[in-house]
Amino acid sequence: MKKQTRSLVIALIAALGIGAAVPGAAVAQSVKSIRGADVAAPEAAVGNFKPIPDQAPIQRDYVQQPPLIPHKVDGYEVTINFNKCMDCHAWSRYKDTGATKVSLTHFKDRDGGELSNVSPRRYFCMQCHVPQTDARPLVGNSFQRAEGLR
Ligand code: HEC
Ligand code: HEC
């Protein structure tokens, strides 16, 4: 490694605070919400929560909201080759499966052009639609359902 590159790497490590992390040292740190409230939820680890049982669609809280996923999605593959969600939600499948057909808005490309299949920007469904678990909310929330939906 060139001397210059090496000092750059060292400076970068120092700036990132990697050098300060002592392996094995337990750091008691409180978790803060984005607005600064203390969050008492160190149990928030993957596997600590059960997915909610399958149920009817969950009411939306604002008009433009991506609907929440009201069923389990364990093992549902969404990769470049295969999209398990479309097995049931595609326009060609929904009548047989009883699923809501994928929204018409999902067939638009980013310039507003209409496509004959789901747009690549809507392909990874769980970027926007999220499954639910029995986890408690980390902080209180006083959000009121939008007027048009009450
Ligand atoms: C085996 C079939 C099946 C698969 C696979 C499936 N779903 Fe569903 N989905 C359903 C059914 C059935 C409903 C409920 C429809 C009803 O009761 O009106 C539903 C409901 C939903 C809803 C709620 C729609 C609304 O209007 O509120 C969303 C969002 C959703 N699914 C997303 C997904 C996503 C994302 C995936 C892939 C990770 C997926 N689903 C995979 C069958 C499926
Ligand atoms: C970029 C965010 C985004 C992605 C990615 C996305 N959706 Fe959506 N979806 C939304 C939003 C927002 C709505 C509600 C407004 C609308 O219909 O566009 C919605 C609505 C829906 C609905 C309800 C349609 C209805 O008639 O009420 C279904 C079903 C759905 N999406 C399924 C899917 C599936 C399946 C995928 C993956 C193939 C997917 N979505 C990918 C944002 C997204």
Nearest CA to ligand 1 atom 29: 69
Which pLDDT does position 17 carry in this prediction?
A: 46
Provide the domain limits for residue 81.
Answer: 50-150
Does 8 reside within a domain? no
How much is the pLDDT for 36? Answer: 82
What distance in angstroms lies between residue 139's CA and the mean position of ligand 1's atoms?
Answer: 28
Which residues contact residue 134 at a Cβ distance below 8 angstroms, ignoring those fewer than 6 apart?
Answer: 49, 50, 51, 52
Q: What pLDDT sits at residue 43?
A: 62
* pLDDT averaged per 10 residues in sequence order, the chain, 150 residues: 55 48 51 77 70 94 96 94 96 97 97 96 97 85 91
- 36 domain-assigned: no
> Is residue 76 a part of any domain in this protein?
yes
| Structural domains of the chain, count | 1
| CA-based radius of gyration for the chain | 22
Ligand 2 in contact with 51 (CB < 6 A)?
no
Which pLDDT belongs to residue 34?
Answer: 83
- Taking the model in full, what pTM does it have? 0.83
* CATH number of the domain within which 134 lies: 1.10.1130.10
| 17, part of any domain | no
Give pLDDT, residue 49: 86
* 142 vs 28: CA distance, rounded Å: 30
